[in-house]
């Protein structure tokens, strides 16, 4: 299962916090699939190299993403090692991309909720660096703002690289994908 994190609602479209939605949207577009509203999220499916992929965009809002992810893992009987969560990351400079197999939430409320509800931090996550270009106390405004004009120039190629990384995760596994994907 590929879970792209974000917030539902037009006011959140194209914001830094919704980068997970953007990646799974591209994957759905490439596979000519559409998301359908279902319990706790929008769901789309496609096959890649013989494997059935379920993509999820939780409708529980970012800070309660774990509720949707746990529901769909249980409903579809998906092992946690087959979960990849795509999220923004303030701790990485803009454009830096990382896949990890476990780790702390790093102050990200969506990851904190997932960790609490799954009772583990041992799940794969794709972290998309959005930088930390905000003043003291302005973090929420920053993550809910749109990318700058300069960032928007680079954004399509970065989203495409993430989509490629998702398909590698599915076909060659976490370790090899980390070796191929993680940027210096």
pLDDT tens digits in sequence order for the chain, 184 residues long: 999 999 999 999 999 999 999 999 999 999 999 999 999 999 999 998 889 999 999 999 999 999 999 999 999 999 999 999 999 999 999 999 999 999 998 889 999 999 999 999 999 999 999 998 888 888 889 999 999 999 999 999 999 999 999 999 999 999 999 998 986 5
Q: How far apart are the first and last CA of the chain?
A: 27
Establish how many alpha carbons lie within 13 A of residue 135's alpha carbon, considering only the half-sphere containing its beta carbon. 0
Q: Give the length of the chain.
A: 184
Its pTM surpasses 0.85: yes
What CATH number is given to the structural domain containing 23? 3.40.50.1470
Q: What is the pLDDT of residue 138?
A: 85
The answer to whether the CB of 84 falls within 8 A of the CB of 169 is yes
Count of domains in the chain?
Answer: 1
**What is the Cα–Cα distance from 23 to 19, expressed in whole angstroms?**
6
Among residues 17, 48, 108, 136, which one is catalytic? 17
Q: What is the pLDDT of residue 55?
A: 98
By residue range, what is the domain housing residue 158?
A: 2-181
Q: What is the pLDDT of residue 183?
A: 62
Q: What is the pLDDT of residue 62?
A: 93
Q: Is 136 an active-site residue?
A: no
Helix residue ranges per DSSP H, the chain: 19-30, 65-75, 109-118, 139-143, 149-172, 174-181
Q: What is the pLDDT of residue 137?
A: 81
Going from the C-alpha of 105 to that of each of 44, 50, 86, 108, 122, the distances in angstroms are: 26, 32, 13, 5, 11
Burial (CB count <10 Å: 0-12, 13-18, 19+), residue 104: exposed
């Amino acid at each position: 299962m590929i879970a792209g994190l974000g917030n539902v609602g037009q006011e959140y479209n194209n914001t830094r916090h919704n980068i997970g939605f953007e990646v799974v949207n591209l994957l759905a577009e490439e596979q000519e699939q559409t998301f359908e509203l279902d319990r706790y999220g929008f769901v789309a499916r496609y096959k890649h190299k013989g494997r059935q992929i379920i993509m999820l965009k939780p409708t529980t809002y970012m800070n309660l993403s774990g509720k949707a992810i746990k529901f769909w893992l249980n409903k579809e009987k998906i092992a946690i090692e087959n979960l990849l969560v795509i999220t923004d990351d303030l701790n990485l400079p803009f454009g830096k991309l990382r896949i990890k197999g476990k780790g702390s939430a790093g102050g990200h409320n969506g990851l904190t909720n997932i960790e609490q509800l799954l009772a583990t931090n041992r799940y794969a996550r794709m972290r998309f660096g959005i930088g930390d270009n905000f003043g003291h106390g302005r973090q929420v405004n920053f993550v809910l703002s749109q990318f700058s004009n300069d960032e928007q120039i680079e954004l399509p190629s970065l989203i495409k690289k993430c989509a490629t990384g998702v398909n590698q995760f599915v076909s060659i596994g976490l370790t090899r994908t980390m070796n191929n994907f993680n940027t210096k």
